[in-house]
Amino acid sequence: MSDTRSPITQFYNCRVLRDHALVEDCLYVQDGKIIDPAKMFWDEQRVPDVRVNCQGGIINGAYGYDFSNDTDMIEEAVSNISKGLLLQGCTAYCPTTVSSRPEVYHKVLSHLGPRAGSIERGAAVLGAHIEGPFISPLKKGAHELATLRTAARGLADFDECYGLDNLRQHVAYVTMAPEVEGVLDAIPDLIAATGINISSGHSNATTAVANQAHRSGAKMITHLFNAMHAFHQRDPGIIGLLGAAESRPFYGIICDGIHVHPHSVMIAYYAHPQGACLVTDAMSAQCLPDGAYKLGEMDVNVHSGHVYIKDTSTIAGSIISLAECVRNFIKFTGASKVEALENATLHPAQMLGIESVKGSLTFGADADILVLDDNLFVQRVFIAGTEATSENVKFNKKI
């Protein structure tokens, strides 16, 4: 609960993204939360202590390190990436690990759990996204084959690999392939035992198996179209879930113009606009020069915005920012600004079940605020109600 004596900040001369529309309104912040101004005006008879002129802007709520490879400097990695992302305009994120050996998960996951965002800490961490190793060898993408495994023993295999306590405390969601031995049957038990979210991905699953996984609790698809059963008219695989008559899953989609053709992005948008979650799939070379880098234990090359496993044509992540993904989504689909912004804010929060505090500007939500111009370029960033600038948010790049 806010201290009624603490300062109140008013954001004015702005268009606020609220209730699926951009409305001309003011926003009021106290103690890092968005507040209802009626109480301030009528009950406390107060006026704002600080006023921020948004100049008519729209309000909406990397760097050489690798979470799977830099295990001996994981806190340094989290700190610097969180601060760098904040200055880009990303106020909360899920740090992602690629398929790794159990000792890596047991070492790093405790450092990737939820933590509040602030000027000192950078963007909020919502919990880890574990991508693999319970994925298909046929659709492994940039994951190391030697690390992949099955779940023949059900929960025991997940406990051995990750640690169930780690899943409960530090993980937001896990990507797995439902056709891998033991995975489909384990999904309900895994959710009941840990409360995590399950996403289907890196999978050769048929539509029938993908449907079973979704009915069992897998509520998302990881990077739609990439590393999965190709669409076929008689069996569209996981992609076919977007055409289901019943409930359909959320889906992550990488709008860098490399991972997914713009026409494919448009197909997904028209099939299920309320399920789109924009993701960057960014790896350690984001905001760094072209050259050689690591993705987990694998060597990758970065050149002109493309990231490939060394000496192959296998895509190994991206270096795009989330703000660029938002602008690309509009360019690829013709979607409205509201739709594109909600794909990067509200929909991911809904998938994680945290929309009351993240991804929206409702009363009581965290005051993580972006001020954008009409072309959706980031002008100002606020975390917990405090403005983040290059002067008060310092971080290092590991080159």
Q: Which residues are catalytic?
A: 281
- Name the phi and psi angles at 50, rounded to 5: -130, 135
Q: Do residues 347 and 358 lie in contact, with contact meaning Cβ atoms separated by under 8 Å? A: no
- Residues 6 or more apart whose Cβ sits within 8 Å of residue 182: 150, 151, 152, 153, 154, 157
- Residue 60's nearest CA partner among 323, 354, 360 is 360
Cα separation of 371 and 49, whole Å? 20
Return the residue matching tokens 């076919």.
240
- Residue 330's nearest CA partner among 385, 375, 277 is 375
Angle at which helices 262-271 and 322-333 pack, to 10 degrees? 80
